Structure 1
Amino acid sequence: MRRIDRIADELTAELLGRVEPGGPHWALFGHSFGALVGFEVARRLLDAADAVVDGLIACSMPPPHLQADQLPVASDGDAELLGWVRAAGGVDEVLLDDPRFARWLAGDLRATLACRRSYQVDRLVPLDCPVLVAAGAGDPEVTDDDLEQWRSCTNADFERVTVGHGHFFLRNHQQSLLELIADRLTRWRSVRSSST
C-alpha cells in the first residue's frame, strides 16, 4: 500500500472488528513512519462509537502537518535508501550485506516514502486523547521544534521525552521505553477512570 489513509482504514477496521461494545481500550504506538499511521488510526478510532483511545505514543517523526517537507532522502534509488538506513543504524550490517534482503528493504522504504509524499494534512484536527512524543537525543530526522509541534495534535495532555540517542533509539533502549510506556498507560487509564 502506498497511502497512509488506506493503511489506517484497514487497520482501524481490523481493530474495530475485534471489539465488542464496552470492550478494550486502545493505546497506539508508532515509531517513525508508524507514528503517522498511529495518528490516523487514533483519529479513526476516536470517531467510532464503541472505541476508547487512552493515548498515542509517537516516536521519531515530525508531526503529520509538517512531515511531507522533511523526508529523510531526496531520491528513491536503492543506494541512497540503504545508505540512509545504514547511517541511521536502523538495520544490522549483516542483513544489509544480503542482496535479497537489501532489495526487499529498499522496496519497502520506497513504499514508505510514497506514503509520506501522498499524505497531506490540509486541516489538522487534534485528537481527544493524550499524546506522548519520544525521540532519541541527536535524532537527525526530527528537531526539537518538530517534536514540540506535536502539541497541536491533541486537545488533551501532551508530553515530550528523550530516550537514548538517535533515530532508532528503541533498539538500544527498549527496556527504558517499555517502562515509560507502561507508566503512561497506567496514568492515562487512571485519569480516564477518574473522569468517568
Structure 2
Amino acid sequence: MSTVVAPAEASRAGRPAGAWFPFAEHPGSDGPLLYCLPHAGGSASVFRSWFGRIGSASVRPVQLPGRETRLQEVPYDAMDLLVPDLAEAVLADLAAGRPGRPFAVYGHSLGATIAFELVREIRRRQGPDPVHLIVSGCPAPGGGWATEGEDDPRMTGASDDEVVALLRRIGGTPEWMLTDPSVLRLILPPFRADFTVKESYRYRAEPPLTVPVTALAANGDPRGPASGMAEWKRGTTGPSTLHTLSGGHFAVLAQAEITHRHIERALRSAV
C-alpha cells in the first residue's frame, strides 16, 4: 500500500480542507472511514442518520461547496475541477491523525461517478487504495448503454421551471421545497452546478481499479438499472458484487437499513 501524501492546509482553489467534512466522527466508530458522496444537489446531511448504523465504520459525509455549511461558496461545475480538490481534501483528512487507517468510498447517483473518479485521482497521486468502492443509482462510466436519464433535457442553461420539472421527475426532493421561492433560491444553484458536472463529464479510459466494488441497484430505477450497475465489475480487477433493492432511484436512502447491511458486509474484511 502506498503512503499518504502530505496534507495541505487548503485545496488549490483555496477551499479549507476541513470544510469538506462538516461532522465530527461518531463516538465508538473506530473502524474504516467511509467517505459518502450524495446525489446531484445533495448535501452531507443526507448521510447524518447513518452515523453508528454501519458496524464500526466511521461515516464521513462529504460536503460539496454551495450547500448547507458551504452555502456561500461557488459550487463546482466540472468534474475535472472538483475531483482534484476533493482528492486533496480526502488525503489531508487521512493524514490528519489517521495514518494507515483503512477507508472506503460510497457514492449515489452523480456521487457514484464522483466516487469512481476520486479513487482514480488518489491512485494517480500514488495515495492509498480504499478497501472498497460502493456505488448506487448510476451505471458504470464508459459502458455505452442507454438509460431513461439520457432522455432528460439538458440542464445546462435551463430555466428554473425546467430544473424543477426534472427534480419532480427524478423524485427525492420534497414538494414543499420545489414550491417555495425562498428555498428554490438556495437549492437550485447546486443542482444546476451538479447537473453541469454530470453533463460535461467525459469518461477517460485508464487501467481498471484493483479494489473490490459493490454496486447497489434498484428494480424500479431506470437511471441505474441492474444491467448498467452490473457493469461496474468491468472497472476493477478486484472482486465485485451486485445487490438489487426494491424501489426507485432513492431506494438506498428509503431502505437505509438494507443499504447499511450491504455496506457493513462489504467493509467486514477491512475490520
Bin of the TM-score, shorter chain as denominator length: 0.7 to 0.9
In the TM superposition, 1:10-89 aligns within 5 A as 10-20=85-95, 22-66=99-143, 70-71=149-150, 73-76=152-155, 77=158, 78-89=160-171
Identity %: 25
What displacement does 1:91 show?
A: 1.0
Which one-letter code corresponds to 1:74 in the other structure? Answer: P
Q: Please name the residue that 2:207 is paired with.
A: 125
- After TM superposition, the structure 1 = structure 2 runs for residues 1-196 of structure 1, keeping only pairs within 5 Å, are 1-20=76-95, 22-66=99-143, 70-71=149-150, 73-76=152-155, 77=158, 78-187=160-269, 189=270
Q: Number of aligned residue pairs: give it.
A: 189
How far does the alpha carbon of each residue in 1:108-135 deviate from its partner, in whole angstroms, 9 at most, with x for none? Answer: 2221221122211231431110111112
Matched residue of 2:189: which SS? Answer: helix
Which is further off, 150-159 or 100-109? 100-109
Per mean C-alpha deviation after superposition, the further-off stretch among 62-71 and 118-127 is 62-71
| Separation in structure 2 between the aligned mates of residue 68 and residue 109 of structure 1, nearest angstrom | 24
Instruction: Note the C-alpha offset of 1:145.
Output: 2.4
Question: Residue 18 and residue 108 in structure 1: after superposition, are their counterparts in 2 closer, same or farther (change >3 A)?
Answer: closer
Shift of the alpha carbon at 1:159?
1.0
Paired residue secondary structure (2:131): strand
Q: Which amino acid aligns with 2:195?
A: L
Given residue 86 of structure 1, which amino acid in structure 2 is its aligned partner?
R
Cα RMSD of the aligned pairs, angstroms, is 2.3
Deviation of residue 35 (structure 1)? 0.4
Contact 1:73–1:80 (Cα < 8 Å) also in 2:
no
The answer as to whether partners of 1:55 and 1:129 remain within 8 angstroms in 2 is yes
SS at structure 1 position matched to 2:138: coil
Report the Cα distance in structure 2 between the residues aligned to 1:156 and 1:167, rounded to whole angstroms.
Answer: 26
Encode CA deviations 1:140-173: one digit per residue, 9 max, x unaligned. 2123321122121111011111123100112310
With the length of structure 1 as denominator, give the TM-score of the two structures.
0.85
Distance 2:139 2:204 in 1: 15
CA-to-aligned-CA distance 1:22-71 (integer Å, 9 cap, x gap): 42222000000000110011112234445231011111012121489754
Q: Aligned pair in 2 of structure 1 residues 96, 104: CA closer, same or farther (>3 Å)? A: same
Give the direction of change, closer, same or farther, for the CA distance of 1:149–1:4 in structure 2 (3 Å limit). same
- When structure 1 is superposed on structure 2, of 141-150 and 157-166 the one drifting more is 141-150
TM-score of the pair, normalised by structure 2: 0.63
* Residues 124, 153 of structure 1: 8 Å contact kept: no
State the alpha-carbon separation in 2 of the partners of residues 53 and 72 from structure 1. 34
Distance 1:26 1:63 in 2: 21
Give ranges in structure 2 of 5+ residues lacking alignment. 1-75
Distance 1:131 1:18 in 2: 22
Note the alpha carbon deviations across 1:75-114, whole angstroms, 9 max, x for none.
3232232222223321111222211222433332221221
| Structure 1 residues without counterparts, runs of 5 or longer | 191-196
